């Protein structure tokens, strides 16, 4: 097996962008289930004439599923995607902002979605973005976070890590592909901590080392 260079993973790649939708479902078998769960939650928090941000929108899977709801509620969707290669394939509707979320001047909003986003930011950037979002969140709204959580301690950490690995193997990913992907993420991916989200974050999903939380206003 050829050992990849550490930290070579990047969304700023045409090959990764083109294969993203298939790749994420292969690596994360729960992707569609959680996507549907996020859409379900959004529908409960997005008011008429509301504002929603899809941060790290990739190819627009969330926006596609919410298209009818956004029209019916005359809501406004802002999709933020820093990778031009990924943005070229975006089909989610709304206004697409090609930039890092840290550089965006957010309007007051009702719902923000961070779906597999925070773990690709530095710890300092994670803290800064969550703080910025909380400051712009309207009363009655929410921030939805789906991300990779730092390992807990003890035997349970081993159990959950192996659960993630077994899920990938069952989905057809080879051991070599798993190892190469993990090494390529060295220094690129930094899982979040529970403390980052605050005391009012409510868990709605967990499988292996991936979690989903609702942060209420």
For residue 76, is it within any domain? yes
Q: Specify whether the CB–CB gap between 66 and 113 falls below 8 A.
A: no
Number of domains the chain contains? 1
pLDDT of residue 154: 82
- C-alpha angle with apex 78: 7 to 144, nearest 5 degrees? 65
The model's pTM is 0.86
The pair of structure tokens assigned to 64 is: 């596609």
Confidence of residue 165 (pLDDT cuts 50, 70, 90): confident
For residue 196, is it within any domain? yes
Give CA–CA dist 23/53, Å, rounded. Answer: 24
Residue with tokens 């008429």: 48
For residue 4, is it within any domain? no
Range of the domain at 161: 14-216
The number of residues in the chain equals 217
For residue 2, is it within any domain? no
Using alpha carbons, select from 104, 103, 87, 38 the residue that is nearest to residue 65.
38
Helix, strand, or coil here: 201? strand
For residue 116, is it within any domain? yes
Read off the pLDDT of residues 10-30 as tens digits, 9 standing for 90 and up: 566 667 777 788 878 887 888
CATH assignment at residue 84: 3.40.50.150
pLDDT of residue 112: 98
The pair of structure tokens assigned to 200 is: 């009012």
Mean pLDDT score of the chain, rounded to an integer? Answer: 89
For residue 161, is it within any domain? yes
Mean pLDDT of all residues in 60-87? 96
Number of H helices, E strands in the chain: 8, 7
């Amino acid at each position: 097996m050829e050992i990849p260079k550490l930290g070579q993973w990047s969304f700023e790649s045409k090959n990764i962008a083109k294969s993203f939708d298939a790749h994420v479902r292969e690596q994360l078998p729960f992707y569609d289930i959680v996507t549907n769960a996020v859409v379900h939650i959004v529908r409960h928090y997005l008011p008429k004439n509301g504002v929603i941000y899809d941060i790290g929108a990739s190819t627009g899977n969330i926006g596609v599923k919410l298209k009818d709801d956004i029209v019916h509620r005359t809501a406004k969707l802002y999709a933020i995607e820093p990778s031009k290669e990924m943005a070229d394939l975006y089909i989610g509707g709304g206004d697409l902002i090609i930039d890092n979320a840290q550089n965006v001047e957010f309007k007051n909003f009702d719902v923000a979605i961070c779906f597999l986003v925070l773990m690709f930011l530095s710890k300092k950037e994670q803290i800064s973005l969550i703080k910025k979002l909380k400051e712009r969140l309207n009363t009655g709204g929410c921030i939805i976070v789906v991300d990779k959580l730092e390992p807990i301690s003890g035997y349970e950490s081993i159990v959950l890590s192996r659960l993630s690995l077994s899920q990938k193997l069952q989905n057809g990913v080879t051991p070599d592909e798993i190892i190469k992907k993990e090494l390529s993420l060295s220094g690129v991916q930094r899982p979040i901590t529970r403390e980052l989200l605050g005391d009012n974050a409510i868990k709605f999903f967990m499988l292996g080392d991936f979690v989903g939380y609702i942060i209420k206003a």
